[in-house]
Structure 1
Amino acid sequence: MAQSSNSERQLITILKLSTFLIFIGRAYQHIVWDAPYRAFLWDEGILKGVIENIFGVSWNEYVTSLSAASTISFSIKTIGVFYLMCAIATLLIKPNMKRLGKLFLIGGSIGLFVLALLYCKEKFFHVGQFFEYTIQFLSPVLLYLVLFTTVEFKKIRLIALIAIALTFSCHGLYAVGYYPRPGSFIDMTLNSLPMNEPSAHLLLKIAGILDFVIAIAIFIPRISYAALVYAFIWGGLTAIARLVGHFHVDFLGNTFSQWTWEVLIRLPHALIPLFVMVADRPGLNLINKLFFRKDLQNISYTADATEQA
């Protein structure tokens, strides 16, 4: 069943919005705040030999050098500028701009992939920490596949489902306590909902179990749509909780500066489930007013999962 023009525009819009939010959020993080590149650049076990043998300075000189620290900070901000360019390109890109797509969508995705590896290293190589970012580093890839390739849409849909499953299940690993449950999870819950700490721990454990259920349910045709609706709602709520759970009226500017980008990079956890929802039920005109005017001719979608539902 070929996708309608309206459905095509919806799908492109969702992917563009998802990719834009990730890039603009990461750009703000890198330019204004920081990113975990020092977890690698200051790892003595990995880089000591390189620094001492190639650059001819001792490891202690390197890690205490103001010049090296300044170079690292400048490089992080430069990466932020690149992400800003990726965000702008995402909004402007058209199907006849394949080279631009490779540079900013694939290039940006590689950057996000490396960033996920760095977060994984920073968190003692918890594999779940890496795969929790799957939606983020695959969103630009999904957009690239839709805009510039003739890959069957059902394969693109499958990639989106895998990204959702990995992101939610790995988030669940922290929520249920398989990995140490982050204190920020507890703080956000207590600050967002009227409950005590034991109740917050119980709620997070239940939410984590549901994350695992959803990661499986989205692949079962008869219940996949309902599971995607839950993923859309829960993904949106957990994103917004970053701001709501850390909101301080007395420090309004700092609150928005510190937490808005955290919201932006997580909103795709709701948008990619929405992408699959619209693909499965294109008759639902959820975002008509946000349509891009450009139609694509290279999307053909065999809605096997939808027809079985």
Structure 2
Amino acid sequence: MLEQRNILETLLRFSAFFVLIGRGIQHLFFDVPIRILLWNESLLSPLFNLFGWSWRSYVTNPLTDFLINLFVILIGCFLCVCSLFAILNLRKGEKLLLLSGVYLVFLSAIYMSAKFFIPAQFIEYSAQMFSPFALLLYWRRGESERLILFIRIAVALTFIGHGAYALGIFPVPGNFIDMVINILGCDESFARNFLKVMGSLDFLAAILLFIPMLSHWALGFCAMWGVLTSLARVSEASVFGVSHILSSMGHEFIMRGPHFILPVVLIYCAHKKSLQRVKAFHIN
């Protein structure tokens, strides 16, 4: 049985592990939008002009594609190694874990650029990209108000990002609608209305997270909805069988572990704080 003082660290380790191993698997076996950056002529042409390189030769050379694929695989291996530093509590890997967190921020920015720089696309990854930093902050300073605030902000931003899409503040992603239709067996009109309701709750929860008397309700919602939205990624593919789910969609669930683990972290810290107050009251 885990000692109480180790529970918080264990949750943070699992949060960082899940996102890093999930993203690592994605890089090794699936696609990441890195080519949006490496094949961006408007971005790279000044560099090519400076050195007199041919852009056409660059994009048509098979070696270019090979090197890009190799780079993505190496990044995947790096993320998998960093996930081991997190789960095994190897604090000697602090610098590598820091680098992995920086890369997750960079990757989130690439995803945002792929979605026409919609800010919701970036902030919905907050729980994922800040999980390694949360673990590092705990390693260096232990449980602190700064750590709790950092996690609270990450959770709030994640649900604001989800809510902004679900409410239609930005164009609702087709896969959001498809997931609701496939899982609930409803029509498109119902799916859109359902998303609006849940998007409203996302925003409400993000606000209530910072109101002490009401934050426990918000945290309960965030933990539950975080699990359900993560499971939705694999549930929509359930018609293809368990083996297909695990092989093609499992990483989608794994990398979203922070979406429900970080709310659980906040629930645990709030519960621990309440117990300390009760003990202090009885002592006095």
Task: Name the TM tier (shorter chain).
Answer: over 0.9
Deviations 1:31-59 (A, max 9, x none): 001211111111111001212432x3321
Secondary structure of 1:195's counterpart equals: coil
CA deviation after TM superposition for structure 1 residue 176, in Å: 0.8
2:112 aligns with one of 120, 124, 131: 120
Give secondary structure in 2 for the equivalent of 1:93: coil
Matched, 1:179 2:170: yes
- Once residues 274 and 107 of structure 2 are traced to their aligned partners in structure 1, the CA distance between those partners, rounded to angstroms, is 36
Distance 2:70 2:125 in 1: 25
Q: Which residue of 2 aligns with 1:82?
A: 78
Counterpart-to-counterpart distance in 2, 1:281 and 1:41? 47
Partner residue, 1:256: 246
User: Is the aligned partner of 1:229 residue 2:220?
Assistant: yes
The answer to whether the Cα contact below 8 Å between 2:82 and 2:93 also exists between their aligned partners in 1 is no
User: C-alpha displacement at 1:196, in angstroms?
Assistant: 1.7
Structure 1 unaligned regions, length at least 5: 286-301
**Cα offset for 1:253?**
3.6
SS at match of 2:31: coil
Report if the CA contact (8 A) 1:48-1:59 is conserved.
Answer: yes
1:43 corresponds to which letter in structure 2? Answer: N
- Tell me the TM-score normalized by structure 2: 0.92
TM superposition score normalised by structure 1: 0.85
Q: Distance in 2 between matches of 1:189 and 1:283?
A: 38
Preserved contact between residue 13 and residue 89 of structure 2 (Cα < 8 Å): no
Q: CA deviation at 1:284?
A: 10
**128, 136, 142: which is aligned to 1:136?**
128
Are 1:39 and 2:36 counterparts?
Answer: yes
Does residue 1:66 correspond to 2:62, yes or no? Answer: yes
C-alpha distance in 2 between matches for 1:164 and 1:7: 23
CA distance in 2, matches of 1:202, 1:177: 10
SS in 2 for 1:281: helix
Of 205, 209, 215, 2:206 maps to 215
* Deviation (angstroms), 1:246: 2.1
TM-aligned CA distance change 1:284 to 1:260, over 3 Å: farther
| Per-residue deviation, 1:283 | 8.4
Cα deviation 1:48-105 (Å, max 9, x = unaligned): 1212432x332111111111111001100100000010111112224xx3x41122x2
Quote how far apart the aligned CAs of 1:204 are: 0.4
Q: Matches of 2:217 and 2:57 in 1, distance apart?
A: 57
Whole-Å Cα distance in 1 between the matches of residues 43 and 116 of structure 2? 15
Q: Report how many aligned residue pairs link the two structures.
A: 277
Question: In structure 2, the residue corresponding to 1:222 is in which secondary structure?
Answer: coil
Q: Distance in 2 between matches of 1:47 and 1:108?
A: 24
Q: How does 1:7-22 map to 2 (within 5 A)?
A: 7-22=4-19
Check conservation: 1:93, 1:101, Cα contact below 8 A.
no
Whichever residue aligns with residue 80 of structure 1, its letter is: G
Q: Give 3-state SS (helix, strand or coil) of 2:249's partner.
A: helix
Asked whether the equivalents of residues 173 and 208 of structure 1 are also in contact (C-alpha less than 8 Å), the reply is yes
| Residues 7 and 279, structure 1, Cα contact 8 Å, conserved in 2 | no
Q: Percent identity?
A: 35
Give the Cα separation in 1 of the matches to 2:111 and 2:185. 31
CA contact (8 A) 2:127 2:262 kept: yes
Question: Greater share of helix residues, 1 or 2?
Answer: 2
Return the structure number with greater relative CO, CA threshold 8 A, min gap 6. 1
